[in-house]
Amino acid sequence: MESKKEKYRHKLDELVKSGRFIPGIYNYCDRWCERCTLSHRCLNYSHEQEMMENKNDPEINDIKNKKFWEQIRLSFEVAMDMISEDAERLGIDLDNLPDVEEPEQVESPAEKLAEKYGYAMHDWLKENHGKLKEKAEQLLVVYTDEKNAVKFADAWEVVQWYSFFISAKVHRAHLDLDERLNEEEDEYNMMSDNLGSAKIALIAIDRSMEALSVLYPEMKEQEDEILQFLALLSQIKKQVQATFPTAMEFKRPGFDD
């Protein structure tokens, strides 16, 4: 009988062979799979779905549950096997790699601001959860304004979804940046990862700003705070644009083809 790991690997190989997926589509998406229009072309998503023994089991998605971590462990083990196989094919001995001096990573101002935004927004959403809920209900029940109620609830979700995502992508955009910028030749096109990450960070910033503009007129008492968040996002955006002026030209697989 197949072990869980073998089953995991076989299913992955089977899906790859089907040829119905867009290579690398999951690298520069916003990871919001429930809302993704291309989930049927995403290997990551399809594999995750296939591997869930019970898709409706809440424990699988619960970070505090053993089942969640078992799934993560399986994916790491399979990934390590695949890396070892590739290394062997290329004649690389993973146990005897030369020492490489890692350049010291200094956080850029954009990364610092994005991190600040993530934590501040997280706290704000927590503190104002009751008010946001009350407003959404008020729009729906008191004013029977279904369209605006949906718009408001959606904006709330958007702000929530991207709060830490922006920081993660701004950080990835700056990974090994100096080194890559100073390289005479980018043989493996490593810089594309910085540009793709910068682009999805900029998209997430724009969507968050748009969503905050929807919350703004409805949250009179929180106007100042929302304005501060908008100013912070605008600052991050300007800095990311200055560092990656061509980021928006990057073609994200699947989404910009």
> Which residues are near ligand SF4 by CB under 6 A?
25-26, 29, 31-33, 36, 38-39, 42, 44-45
Q: How far apart are CA 199 and CA 186, in angstroms?
A: 19
Q: Select from 158, 161, 159, 151 the least CA-distant residue to 218.
A: 151
How many CB atoms are closer than 10 A to CB 157? 13
> CB of 236 within 8 A of CB of 114?
yes
> How far separated are the first and last CA of the chain, in Å rounded?
42
Sign of CA dihedral 178, 103, 162, 25: positive
CB of 168 to ligand SF4, least distance (A): 14
CB of 41 to ligand SF4, least distance (A): 8
Token pair listed for 194: 């910085």
Please identify, using beta-carbon distances, which residue of 45 and 152 lies nearer to ligand SF4: 45
The helix/strand count (H/E) of the chain reads as 9, 0
Q: What is the CA angle 102-243-253, rounded to 5?
A: 85
Q: How far apart are CA 137 and CA 145, in angstroms?
A: 10
CB of 238 to ligand SF4, least distance (A): 27
Please identify, using beta-carbon distances, which residue of 30 and 115 lies nearer to ligand SF4: 30
Please identify, using beta-carbon distances, which residue of 9 and 31 lies nearer to ligand SF4: 31
CB of 36 to ligand SF4, least distance (A): 3
CB environment 122-133: b (16+ within 10 A), e (fewer) = eebeeebeeebe
Please identify, using beta-carbon distances, which residue of 30 and 218 lies nearer to ligand SF4: 30
CB of 17 to ligand SF4, least distance (A): 19
Token pair listed for 165: 């995502």
Please identify, using beta-carbon distances, which residue of 21 and 156 lies nearer to ligand SF4: 21
Please identify, using beta-carbon distances, which residue of 48 and 225 lies nearer to ligand SF4: 48
Helix (H, G, I), strand (E, B) or coil at 57: coil
